[in-house]
Amino acid sequence: MTMLDTQNVPRTPDPASAPLYRLQSVTRTYPQRGRVVTALAGVDLEIREGDFVAIQGPTGGGKSTLLQILGALDRPTAGSVVLAGSDIATATRSELGRLRAHEIGFVFQGFNLIPTLTAQENVDMALEPLGLEKSERTRRVAEALAHVGLADRADHRPTELSGGQQQRVAIARAIVKRPRVLLADEPTGNLDESMRDEILAVLQTLNAEGLTLIVVTHDSAVARRAGRRLRLEKGTVHEITR
């Protein structure tokens, strides 16, 4: 169940349930100028459905690599990454495509909106891989934009929207697929403090409705809103206790 389901009831993660993500001994290395660079060094991690996880750490510590692997955009060099029962490390390209299309939503620091399209058209593009009927696509897009408070801006292009509104369109584009997890890479990095708080309120509402939320951020004000805080440094993950 996600924020756009018909029976929309907030829930608390069940600690007895199987984790949405299970990472075991995940390593990711890259060849670079004749040497091997280790981005992730044997990461073990579980993330449960409904978690709100913030990932912090220095530049070059492996945060972007971890997010790409969680998003089925990359594979580990060694280890397993199980998402909803599918191992990203061994999945075929078509299986990875299905995971990205159905299970995962993405939000980035740059809003990545197409400037010539309206908010409605930008959000609708996310539904193309799902093969839905036009009427269903129209309904889902309207619901997603209303959910982020932009029902009255559906026909506006990005240049006619503030930075905060553009990021809300990007969030609507991510959730219109009804994913199980939303991965956000510095989602407030291009925003001032007031707009940052606006976006955080949207994300917290989505999480309260059951959406699993994983955010990479340098902003401690953002990280403090999360239920769990992780620090990723030199390829290893440490839980930050409150």
Report the alpha-carbon distance of residue 140 to residue 47 in Å, rounded.
Answer: 27
DSSP notation for 113-148: --TTS-HHHHHHGGGGGGT--HHHHHHHHHHHHHHT
**For the chain, give me the number of helices (H) and strands (E)?**
7, 10
DSSP notation for 53-66: EEEE--TTSSHHHH
CATH T-level fold of 49-67+92-240: Rossmann fold (3.40.50)
Which pLDDT value is given to residue 18? Answer: 78
Q: Do the beta carbons of residue 106 and residue 183 sit within 8 Å?
A: yes
pLDDT digits (tens, 9 = 90+) for 154-209: 999 999 999 999 999 999 999 999 999 999 999 988 888 888 999 999 999 999 99
pLDDT digits (tens, 9 = 90+) for 24-48: 999 999 888 888 999 999 999 999 9
Q: Is residue 21 scored above 90 in pLDDT?
A: yes
Report the alpha-carbon distance of residue 19 to residue 25 in Å, rounded.
Answer: 16
